[in-house]
Amino acid sequence: MLIEYTARESVQSGHVAGTAYNIEVARSNQDRSFGKVGSLPTALAGNSVSIVQRMEERYTIVTMLHEKYQVTDILDMREFLDSVSRHESFYIDDIEGETTNNLIAKPTFEDGLFGDWETSAGQTIVPVTWSQASKAYQLVDNVAGYNGVQIPVVAGETLNFEMWVDASGATNSVRAGVKAFQSDQTTVISYPEFFTVLPSEGYAFGSGSIEVPALCAYVEPLLILATPSPYGTADVSHIRMYRKSNPQLYILEGRYQEQRLDNGFYRFTFTVRKL
């Protein structure tokens, strides 16, 4: 499920207070419950009945995150829960749906593997000292970092994209976008762009969205160092492309809990109520 909230407390490095962010939560357990609100005794035709004004829908959610492999997710969860702890409302998209809605199969590079990402121009995986990652995919020269999987899309729908990037080594800028194909998966329509990160921004969180162009049936994510030469390098990780389905408004209820377990896992438990 996808959670959209506004960062207010425990704002992590690279994030800005007052800015909306999305996080993806993989649930290890989830309980759903309903409660009656405004039950009033009423007499109808001599019979005593109760009329319920509304039903409250609640979910208790548990997610397990490992301190070695999911540092970013742990920081995201702390920021989210602390930011909504005073009953600030937030959106959850597809609360009972799939565990993940990331359209990119290889978002991180902690295992040292490229997956479907391009390597023909000397792109490599490099060590980094980010709080979010220990390894990143490095863009080199002006050859795009293509993801070799073409993803089916519908013309007119909105795609959202985000990633962590260190653009300090780039000469010009780092651009995130897609290569849009017609249904034959060969004819290129255009190269819509999600966002640009400038070298002056250094290590940053980039996010943006596009509307899929007319006649487009497939997209291929790409990351590129902008012209002119020399291009420099840039490091990227935690790459996500996703679509929102049906976001609903929620608030946090009661206390939430963060536990560090002996096996290196962190367990977050919290309850939300649908508004």
Confidence of residue 98 (pLDDT cuts 50, 70, 90): low
- Find which of 101-105, 126-130, 192-196 is predicted with most confidence, using mean pLDDT: 192-196
Query: What is each CA distance from 177 to 76, 137, 174, 193, 223, in whole angstroms?
Result: 24, 16, 10, 4, 6
Same fold, 2-99+245-274 and 124-242: no
- Please give the average per-residue pLDDT across 227-235, as a whole number: 89
Is 52's pLDDT higher than 70? Answer: no
Condensed to tens digits (0 to 9), the pLDDT of residues 186-223 reads 999 999 999 999 998 888 888 899 999 999 999 999 89
Please give the pLDDT value at position 161.
92
Is 44's pLDDT higher than 60? Answer: no
Q: What is the rounded CA–CA span in Å between residue 76 and residue 28?
A: 17
> Domain 124-242 classified CATH 3.30.420.40?
no
Residue ranges of domains in the chain: 2-99+245-274, 124-242
User: Which percentage of the chain shows pLDDT scores above 70?
Assistant: 90
Q: What is the rounded CA–CA span in Å between residue 250 and residue 256?
A: 15
Specify the CATH number of the domain 2-99+245-274.
Answer: 2.40.30
Please give the pLDDT value at position 36.
65
Amino acid at residue number 163: M
